[in-house]
Amino acid sequence: MRLADEFFLIAWDTAGQGKPVLHPQGAALGLAGALLGELILGERLTVQGAGLLVLNRVPVEDPLARDVLAQIVAAPEHTDVRTWLAYLAQDAAEGVGARLQDAGLVQRVESRVLFRTRVRYEATEFAKGAWPSLRLTMLLSEHQPMSLPDMLLAALVDAAGLLDHVLFEPEQRAPAREYLTTLTAALPPALRGLAGHVSAAVGSAVMTYRT
């Protein structure tokens, strides 16, 4: 499963209400970070300091990721990671939700309540929808060795403010957080930088009452 898909399934309560468990701005910025993360893992982009650099313009296979890369390539005047996080966050939920629906993992359900359209994402199979979160819980609480995408996923989940939701048992939290700190320190600078920018963007949203 792709990084942003896993982030989506962790951040949305697809087995219940179909809404994000995280405040909307945190969920959106986390997803945007995961979309950029997919392209960094695919060696198309990198993060240097505050900047997002294109390493390789060759399109990727996944349509959503290809679209994201194409937009970044087409706008070379925008080089700030934060600009791209803010921009991608606007449509990230729709985009990743559609990708999950295409993969048959979730069902997008629209309902109209008064004058507002509410969008819910319901898991087609409970186990598949709940698996990414459960897997991350086990990896972190059992201090298991993790792949690079999993380490980035964990770092992004933390950056978005979602870690306490994944570590649902309070006594797991302190040791798992400590383990995550060592993992994050071992991440390549581009991925660590990406997680740092997501965390800073979510923090800014808190400071400016945008959560």
- Where do contacts with other proteins occur on this chain (CB under 8 A)? 21-23, 25-26, 47, 49-51, 64, 67-68, 71, 74-75, 77-83, 86-87, 90-91, 94-95, 159, 161-162, 164-165, 184, 189, 192-193, 195-197, 199-200, 202-211
Cβ 92 to other proteins shortest distance, Å:
9
- 1/200 with CB nearer other proteins: 200
Cβ 74 to other proteins shortest distance, Å:
4
Cβ 136 to other proteins shortest distance, Å:
15
Cβ 128 to other proteins shortest distance, Å:
23
- 15/200 with CB nearer other proteins: 200
Q: Which alpha helices (H) appear in 75-188, and where do they start and end?
A: 81-102, 126-141, 148-159, 163-166, 170-186
Dist. CA 5–CA 135, nearest whole Å: 14
Q: Which residue has the tokens 């994000």?
A: 20
How are the residues of the chain apportioned to helix, strand and coil, as percentages rounded to the nearest 5? Answer: 60, 15, 25
Point out which residues pair with 39 in neighbouring strands: none
Dist. CA 30–CA 11, nearest whole Å: 9
Cβ 125 to other proteins shortest distance, Å:
25
Q: Which residue has the tokens 């649902």?
A: 168
Cα-based angle 101, 37, 136 (whole degrees, multiple of 5): 70
- 48/144 with CB nearer other proteins: 48
- 63/144 with CB nearer other proteins: 63
Dist. CA 188–CA 57, nearest whole Å: 21
- 62/124 with CB nearer other proteins: 62
